[in-house]
């Protein structure tokens, strides 16, 4: 049965989803939600656990639905620990996708109960990624300060997501949503070269033209925050 055919069959059921709640068997969730998404809309799905959110995302992807997982912190509010840089970046990226939604397609945001109930910074959705592009004119030290404000940790050698290192005219940074770190070579204040590289042997994995560096902290370390 085509998705359009399924939509016509499930249309009476889909209307009931506009009410406060509806219990759906696991096997029927993905096709029913996909049918609902034939008309452009943003849908928020709240699951019991983060694992269930990830599983539902995989199911919806097979039905051609655009999804975005909004993960919860791995840490509890009273713990003196920060969530991973990847988790923070995924949360910010999902909120940014919702804010930039233009109504031309459906977007399903999936969050666990814990993620949906966690308080958010008022301006978190407006946090834009820091973009570096080949040919840009940027001072390496200014870039370093901007990345530290976004939560990146300065180290001697990059080995984990959310870390950065600067040596002379070379800036290494590991974007939180990327598979490999990026090496930025400067000629004066000009970005002369951008390349992904391997952590294991530091060898280049290929040239890129630009890189987006998403914040890895939900409250940027601005001068005002430091004063408080």
Which tokens belong to 109? 């945001």
Q: Which pLDDT tens digit goes with each residue over 117-164? A: 888 777 777 788 889 999 999 888 899 999 998 999 999 999 999 999
DSSP 6-37: HHHHHHHHHHHTTSS-----HHHHHHHHHHHT
pLDDT of res. 9: 47
Which CATH code, of 3.30.2060.10, 3.40.228.10, 3.30.750.24, 3.10.20.30, is assigned to 130-224?
A: 3.30.2060.10
- In a 3-state reduction of DSSP, which class is residue 145? helix
pLDDT of res. 118: 83
> What Cα–Cα distance (Å) separates residue 16 from each residue in 24, 107, 205?
11, 20, 51
CATH of domain 3-126: 3.40.50
Q: Which pLDDT tens digit goes with each residue over 153-212? A: 999 999 999 999 998 889 999 999 999 999 999 998 999 999 999 998 889 999 999 999
Only one residue has tokens 């390496």, namely 140
pLDDT of res. 227: 56
- In a 3-state reduction of DSSP, which class is residue 81? coil
Q: Which pLDDT tens digit goes with each residue over 6-63? A: 455 445 545 545 555 556 667 778 888 888 888 888 888 888 999 999 999 999 998 8
The pLDDT mean for the chain works out to 83
Sorted by where each begins, the domain ranges of the chain are 3-126, 130-224
How many whole angstroms separate alpha carbon 14 and alpha carbon 105? Answer: 18
pTM of the model: 0.76
Residue 149 neighbours by CB under 8 Å, 6+ apart = 220, 221, 222
pLDDT of res. 78: 66
> What Cα–Cα distance (Å) separates residue 179 from each residue in 12, 176, 182, 213?
43, 8, 10, 13
């Amino acid at each position: 049965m085509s998705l359009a055919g399924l939509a016509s069959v499930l249309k009476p059921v889909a209307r009931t989803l506009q009410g406060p709640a509806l219990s759906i068997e696991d096997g029927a969730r993905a096709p029913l939600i996909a049918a609902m998404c034939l008309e452009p809309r943003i849908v928020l799905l709240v699951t019991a656990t983060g694992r269930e959110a990830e599983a539902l995302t995989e199911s919806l992807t097979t039905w051609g639905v655009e999804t975005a997982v909004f993960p919860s912190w791995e840490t509890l509010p009273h713990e003196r620990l920060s969530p991973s840089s990847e988790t923070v970046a995924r949360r910010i990226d999902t909120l940014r996708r919702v804010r930039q939604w233009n109504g031309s397609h459906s977007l399903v945001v999936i969050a666990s109960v814990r993620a949906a109930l966690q308080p958010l910074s008022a301006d978190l959705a407006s946090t834009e990624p820091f973009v570096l592009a080949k040919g840009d004119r940027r001072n390496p030290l200014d870039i370093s300060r901007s990345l530290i404000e976004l939560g990146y940790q300065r180290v001697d050698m990059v080995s984990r997501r959310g870390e950065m290192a600067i040596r002379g005219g070379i800036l290494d940074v590991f974007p939180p949503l990327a598979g490999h770190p990026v090496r930025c070579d400067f000629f004066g204040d000009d970005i002369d070269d951008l390349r992904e590289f391997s952590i294991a042997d530091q060898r280049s994995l290929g040239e890129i033209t630009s890189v987006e560096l998403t914040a890895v902290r939900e409250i940027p370390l601005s001068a005002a925050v430091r004063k408080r």
